[in-house]
């Protein structure tokens, strides 16, 4: 069974109605990144950061996987599919994908402030308890913080992502600018004879000598085109 490895970014979830961070009108227009997505912001104002992610979780409950998510999940009927995602939502899983590596954490999980990547302290919030409060503690006694990889923090799953990228028979990139490292560097590990496809409606400035097929469309339409290309 051929191995398809998929790298997804914010454009994958944009069709579901989740704001992207970098585009005009995105989340960063309303919040300062240093305030809500850095360890220093957390130390300065835990209440602000906690509220920010509480709001994100409530928003996530109001959206559904887009057609692109669903087509990606259906690929598992024919291929060994691994998704490496920069997104913190759970839309891939809700669409039915079974092998998902989250590079930047998971919105529906919380963890210890002292030891955030220790599996002992990572917990998934119940659907009826999505609002974390200041004073709620992890098992080690520290304030619960979002299980999110903030700017300036190490990316614990990057080695796992590299290993999957090295094994790809087909590599598919959806909705990412290829400007955010270390995720953007994963393509360097893709075998030289493995075809790379990139789905994005905008022109992509990818500074690589590596050839790739650009499907200039959104995630849903792009996935339909991708299926046709690999079935030729």
Where in the sequence is the domain holding 208, given as residue range(s)? 1-18+65-104+155-232
Which helix (H) or strand (E) segment holds residue 47: the answer is: helix 46-60
- pLDDT at residue number 40: 96
Distance CA 32, CA 125 (A): 26
Same domain for 212 and 160: yes
pTM: 0.92
**Alpha carbon 203 to chain centroid, angstroms:** 21
Q: Domain end: 148, 164, 179, which one?
A: 148
Distance CA 23, CA 9 (A): 12
- Whether 3 and 79 have beta carbons less than 8 Å apart is answered as yes
Residue 227: closest CA among 15, 13, 6: 6
Dihedral over Cα of 219, 224, 228, 231: its sign = positive
- pLDDT at residue number 232: 74
Same domain for 177 and 124: no
SS3 149: coil
Ordered mean pLDDT values, 10 residues apiece, the chain (232 residues): 95 82 50 88 96 91 95 96 96 98 96 96 93 96 97 94 98 83 83 95 77 93 95 81
Count of CA atoms in the C-beta half-sphere (13 A) of 22: 10
Same domain for 207 and 169: yes
- pLDDT at residue number 54: 94
Residue 87: closest CA among 102, 73, 77: 102
| Active-site residue list | 104
Instruction: Report how many domains make up the chain.
Output: 2
CATH number of the domain enclosing 1:
3.40.50.1220
Q: Domain end: 90, 125, 148, which one?
A: 148
Structure tokens at 99: 């092998």
Same domain for 227 and 188: yes
- Partners of 8 in beta bridges: 85, 174
């Amino acid at each position: 069974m051929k191995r398809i490895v998929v790298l997804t970014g914010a454009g994958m979830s944009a069709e579901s109605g989740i704001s992207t961070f970098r585009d005009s009108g995105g989340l960063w227009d309303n919040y300062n990144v240093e305030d809500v997505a850095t360890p220093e912001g957390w130390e300065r104002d835990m209440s602000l950061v906690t509220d920010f992610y509480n709001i994100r979780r409530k928003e996530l409950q109001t959206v559904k996987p887009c057609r692109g998510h669903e087509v990606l999940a259906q690929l598992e009927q024919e291929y060994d599919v691994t998704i490496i995602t920069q997104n913190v939502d759970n839309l891939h899983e809700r669409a039915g994908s079974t092998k998902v590596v989250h590079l930047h954490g998971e919105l529906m999980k919380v963890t210890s402030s002292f030891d955030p990547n220790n599996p002992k302290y990572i917990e998934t919030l119940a659907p009826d308890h999505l609002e974390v409060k200041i004073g709620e503690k992890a098992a080690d006694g520290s304030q619960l913080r979002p299980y999110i990889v903030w700017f300036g923090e190490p990316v614990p799953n990057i080695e796992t992502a590299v290993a999957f990228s090295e094994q790809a028979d087909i590599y598919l990139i959806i909705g990412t600018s290829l400007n955010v490292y270390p995720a953007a560097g994963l393509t360097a590990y893709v075998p030289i004879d493995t075809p790379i496809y990139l789905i994005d409606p905008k022109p992509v400035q990818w500074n690589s000598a590596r050839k790739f097929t650009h499907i200039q469309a959104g995630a849903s339409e792009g996935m339909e085109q991708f299926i046709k290309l690999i079935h030729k």
